[in-house]
Structure 1
């Protein structure tokens, strides 16, 4: 696989992958010297990548202590998913009617990519192809400013998806829901697409709520 066009982007991609795969776990300190050595880069692009991840809420900086991987927070998840609902519903309602055959083919291609990654238990690729699937659904709306905001929200919650997809039951549910979502897109039914995507998000939040906020023992 070729490296991204810049060293900083390469480092950013590698850090995101490490967080998704739990090589870097929540609350784990990020040792910059060790990480730079592992990636074969200087500390300059590493620091810039960490600043980007800090802005996304994926790492936390504390003076005199450095960077640590952010702890997963139910409150943060609920806020981000509420914002996603507001923005994505607008795009999903419009996108199918504005989509062409190439857009529909892209949706179906990414649908198969998610299923293939799930079949091979490739969690990182499943998260990546899932993102491409969802953006293939929304981008035909032709709302670039809205999509920039949606991308930022997605960046902040990739670690939560890693937790969600860790369950085979959740992965099976995602694949079944994706098939219904793709059919609504292909039928050019924006209202149904928005409804199914809302349900899709709600199922993820329900499952993650049980993980991030388990009931206290009696």
Structure 2
């Protein structure tokens, strides 16, 4: 994740707040429907509530949080239908991004992918879910950014961000962490061999595994509400 810099080259207070909130949502510290206490977040980053409030407005525009009158901001809970639609849109866009990107793959890209896979494997052993999620995101966007289609890549990124609150649930299971790492190695092997459609099929199964897991979590929650 990149940070916008101020005039002195350092991240602005708003970007620090935004990065911090994203991390708290990604690691599950801030769960769906949980109220976000702006004063507490401000204390955690040693800032005033003003940049926190501006960061929350950004997250609201992205669909990650919502404002509830008389209660403030909450992490937005997605229903099963919304999650399924999000992953369906991801499949459509990511499949095309890989096809557009494949003529631009080179040794430098594969070295970068290998480095992110190594980071993920270390994070899995250490049960560092945030580091694993961040490396996973970098792994995938190394591929999508080679498409040369920045607007498509930005839209894919927005779809990813809208489900950040649910990603920690998937990585919390040791078997899921192992599966993700193995699937990444299969995807890279297919891409190295020039088997682009095979890699796309592997990526679809990769997403489908996450969807199936989330379905088992979200469906009972919807039934109980």
Shared fold (TM-score greater than 0.5)?
yes
Structure 2 portions without partners, runs of 5+: 4-9
1:90 is the counterpart of 2:96 = yes
Equivalent in the alignment of 1:102: 108
Q: How many residues align?
A: 215
**1:124-169 CA deviation, whole Å, 9 max, x = no partner?**
0000000001111222222111111111111111221111111111
- Of the candidates 7, 19, 37, which is equivalent to residue 31 of structure 1? 37
Equivalent in the alignment of 1:184: 190
- Of the candidates 122, 144, 151, which is equivalent to residue 116 of structure 1? 122
The alignment's C-alpha RMSD in Å is 1.8
- Of the candidates 73, 80, 83, which is equivalent to residue 74 of structure 1? 80
Distance 2:194 2:147 in 1: 12
Q: TM-score, normalised by structure 1?
A: 0.92
Maintained 8 Å contact 2:38/2:52: yes
Maintained 8 Å contact 1:96/1:189: no
Q: Secondary structure at the match of 1:61?
A: strand
Q: How big is the shift at 1:66?
A: 1.0
Maintained 8 Å contact 1:72/1:160: no
Structure 1 portions without partners, runs of 5+: none
Distance 2:142 2:44 in 1: 34
Deviates more, 1:27-36 or 1:160-169: 27-36
Distance 2:56 2:145 in 1: 28
1:163 is the counterpart of 2:169 = yes
Equivalent in the alignment of 2:66: 60
1:173 is the counterpart of 2:179 = yes
Q: How big is the shift at 1:176?
A: 1.1
1:16 is the counterpart of 2:22 = yes
Q: TM-score, normalised by structure 2?
A: 0.89
